[in-house]
Structure 1
Amino acid sequence: MLQIVEGSLEEAKEEMKSVLKTVQARLSKYKRTVKPSERTGANKEVMDQWESFIHFFRVSEMAPVFVGDICINYKLYQRFMKKLKGYQVECFLNGNKLTLYYSNNSHNGKLELYNISYKLEGMKFFPRAVIVDE
């Protein structure tokens, strides 16, 4: 199980909203300054990168949390853990992913949450969590 030991999800959410608002404003200004008929491949690539960043870090779908040296989507972890009530769950850090093994009398499986820190572009305001045994 993961336990947040440093930072707050709410503070990180507000900070992420601020970052997304800034990126959205830059994208909007960029689209206004570069007319559609004059856009080059490089212009379109920049716009695509900003749009994919905005889409990837939607506050309703994403809550980055650092666990050890990696960063995972904590909201995905929380949703999955709600479905595993009554299961025995073990968490392990395996290189660039957090692996959850779960089992009960009739079912077992695993979930791998991969490192997303390469998409954070220097943002370090996200909470930190540790793996605790229950």
Structure 2
Amino acid sequence: MLVITKGSKETVKKELKIAAKAKTDELKAIKKEYRKVQDRPRWVREKIKRLEELQRFYMVSKVLPVKVGNIIINYLAYEKFMKNIKGFPVRHVVGDAGLKVEYETPDKTKGSINFFDLNQHFSDFEHLPAAELEEKEALV
């Protein structure tokens, strides 16, 4: 299991709130500017859609970016998943594309989940916590 070894969850949450506010302000400004235009240009509609999608990446209740090696993953999603497979043999594989967690159920069914690298969204954050594997784990 991954454990946060450096940094604080609270400092990154503050940074997330600041980033979320910036995206919200940008979205409001664009909507206000084109509020009275009946048929917004295509690039404006696409930018609004992209900003609305980006807002989800900065929700404190849904995302906690944590650095694992040279990648950044959503630690909240990771913790939630690990609670579901508690007690199963687990193996972590850190690659360039993200973190892969492989597991095996008691009835010998194997499965895996990928936590993709979020560097493109959080690379400019200054106070990202770092996590490392708590102990060696292996599939039987």
Please classify the TM superposition score into its range, dividing by the shorter chain length: 0.7 to 0.9
Q: Supply the AA of the counterpart residue of 1:102.
A: Y
Matches within 5 A, 1:109-124: 109-120=111-122, 122-124=124-126
Q: Supply the AA of the counterpart residue of 2:31.
A: K
> Which structure 2 segments of 5+ residues have no match?
none
What is aligned with 2:24? Answer: 24
After superposing on structure 2, the runs of 4+ consecutive aligned residues of structure 1 that deviate more than 4 Å are none
Aligned-pair CA distance for 1:97: 1.6
1:22, 1:114 → 2: CA distance?
A: 24
Q: Normalising by structure 1, what TM-score?
A: 0.86
Measured at CA, do residues 37 and 89 of structure 1 come closer, stay the same or move farther in structure 2, by a change above 3 Å?
same
> Which structure 1 segments of 5+ residues have no match?
none
CA offsets per residue over residues 54-113 of structure 1, 9 Å max, x none?
A: 023322111111111111111111001111221122212123121112224313321211
1:17, 1:57 → 2: CA distance?
A: 7
2:113, 2:45 → 1: CA distance?
A: 35
Count of aligned positions: 134
Please provide the CA RMSD for this pair: 1.9
What is aligned with 2:38? Answer: 37
What is aligned with 1:11? Answer: 11
What is aligned with 1:132? Answer: 134
2:87, 2:133 → 1: CA distance?
A: 19
Q: Normalising by structure 2, what TM-score?
A: 0.83
Identity percentage over the alignment? Answer: 28
Contact 2:90-2:102 within 8 A present in 1 as well: yes
What is aligned with 2:50? Answer: 49
